[in-house]
Amino acid sequence: MKTCLTLFILLTTVSFAYAQLPVEVAEDQQALLESDDPQLRANKKLVFDFWREVFQARNMEKASEYMAEDYMQHNPNVATGRKPFTDFFGQFEQRPVKPTIDNLVTIVAERDLVILAFKRELEDPENEGETYTTTWFDMLRIEDGKIAEHWDYGTK
């Protein structure tokens, strides 16, 4: 009985002793683009460059290089199609292109899909004035060398 009580105390103490592990941003984003499969490597590079040059830098003039004209959007805040995408994001001030993607954790590619994982910092609802990190994911489908479809956690 004493052993069970000791084990219970140990397990409950250990669970409280460790907090959530913070999400870490990738230090070497170029390494994330590597793959033994040339098609997966090309898909990752396409999404990486699109994200930096078009989405993050807000350079809508480059959108046609990366996006299919009939691009499908699964976020309720932006209509489907390349033109609605550029109209929506074109309202924001253009920024310089960076060599990296802000808050990028990793890039995963499988078949025609590329997933970007990002570090996201949110207010802690249980501890006023404190924050915690979590992840945000975007998934893009590639077709004929262009981004054809996008999914993320978009809410209205």
Q: Per residue in 97-152, pLDDT tens?
A: 999 999 999 999 999 999 999 999 999 888 899 999 999 999 999 999 999 999 99
Residue 12: what residue type?
A: T
At 10 the pLDDT is: 42
Starting at the edge strand that comes first in sequence, how are the strands of the sheet with 131-143 ordered? 67-73, 146-152, 131-143, 113-123, 104-110
Q: Using CA atoms in the order 108, 53, 140, 143, what is the torsion angle rounded to 10 degrees?
A: -110
Domains of the chain: 23-152 (3.10.450.50)
Q: What share of the chain in percent tops pLDDT 90? A: 78
The encoded tokens of residue 46 equal: 């396409």
When pLDDT is averaged across residues 21-44 and rounded to a whole number, the result is 97
